[in-house]
Structure 1
Amino acid sequence: MSRRILLATRNAKKLEELRRILLKRGLGEVEVLGLSDVDEFPEAPETGATFEENALAKAHDAAKATGLPAIADDSGLSVDALGGMPGVLSARWAGRHGDDQANLELVLNQLRDTPDERRGASFVCAAAFVVPDEQEVVVRGEWPGTIIREPRGTNGFGYDPIFVPEGESRTSAELDPAEKDSSSHRGRALRALLPYLWEFAQTR
């Protein structure tokens, strides 16, 4: 089997982030593809109740359609004062999938009257790795912090401009890529997958 892995995403920034982490961790010999590098296939809607369910479903769909080992993630923002929401609905919280600005503004509006001490939140990422007919694994990474009242920063995407990680004064959107990779929810989840990716790389 080829040492190729499909990262099942069409989000260019997310793909870039995942590639950086893999390369930094010594998996440069594995060719990393995105969905734009393979023939299109029907993608099932994200209907799982948890990040883990969605990540596994996406990885299985991609592996089945392409025959390639596939990594998929599902991630989002969990806000304490909103009972853990937007959660798995993070990408479409305002009603239209992928409208980052509308999603961010809705969360800020919903927290308008919430005092600073109750604005705790976490970014959550579940990452799944599926090797066709061989293996499946799903792991979870969390990045705790707080939600501020006005966006700051231009790096990152999604809710990054309103999220200040625990122990930081800067938002996620004010961190440089290397800083974000070292501590982000996605970085934590992917690092939890590394033993399985190493095993894959060593047996191919």
Structure 2
Amino acid sequence: MTVTEFALLKLSDAYEPLELYELLMECFEIQDTWVRKHQPELRDPHSDANLSSVYVDRSSTPHTLLITAQWSSPEAHHQWVASEENQMGFAAIKKFLAEGEDSMVLFHMAPAGLRQKGAPPKFTGQGTFEVERIFIRAEERPAVQEKYRKLEGTLLDLKIEDPIWAGWRLEKESPETDELVVFYSQSQSPLGRTVEKLDVSHKKQVLVFEHIIG
């Protein structure tokens, strides 16, 4: 099952953006080389784009990085995570991260929509976009799923071009809870208000990102 990596990294207050971004570009070039060798099915031979996309939220304190990538399965991603190449790269990145156990969140998502089944849009050239992490009780999932699919279908039928994508978190924090992650453009505020209606438990985290790499 193809899954989408979702990694949030809180940055230290004193990080140097240019130094970090240059390091990330180096790390993702190494990642792409590793993937071509070990998991070539993940790469489009006709594209030079990185496997991973990186975004930054400068509105939060501390700033937050978001990394997304498509993997054939969580296990396939963990093969990369355990590799020597990744371990060396992450060791270099760690100095830019905030201290504390919550400085990094990592999980995988399966698409929640019926039509938008691929990866989240890259939002390149879109300015900023929002990511909402909606936390619900497990028994609320069917209702939220239905609401999202109805929203997705309406937007596509009306040919509204603003990108939207949602995915369910696979590695749940507990059997009693679920998490829906929604990506959408900020260019139309009615879309944001519609997304808010998906939230039936009123517990969520909203992040505002802009594209930097990938």
Shorter-chain TM-score above 0.5: no
Greater strand fraction, Structure 1 or Structure 2: 2
Give the TM-score of the pair, scaled to structure 1.
0.29
Higher helix share: 1
Q: With a CA cutoff of 8 Å and minimum separation of 6, indicate the structure with the bigger relative contact order.
A: 2
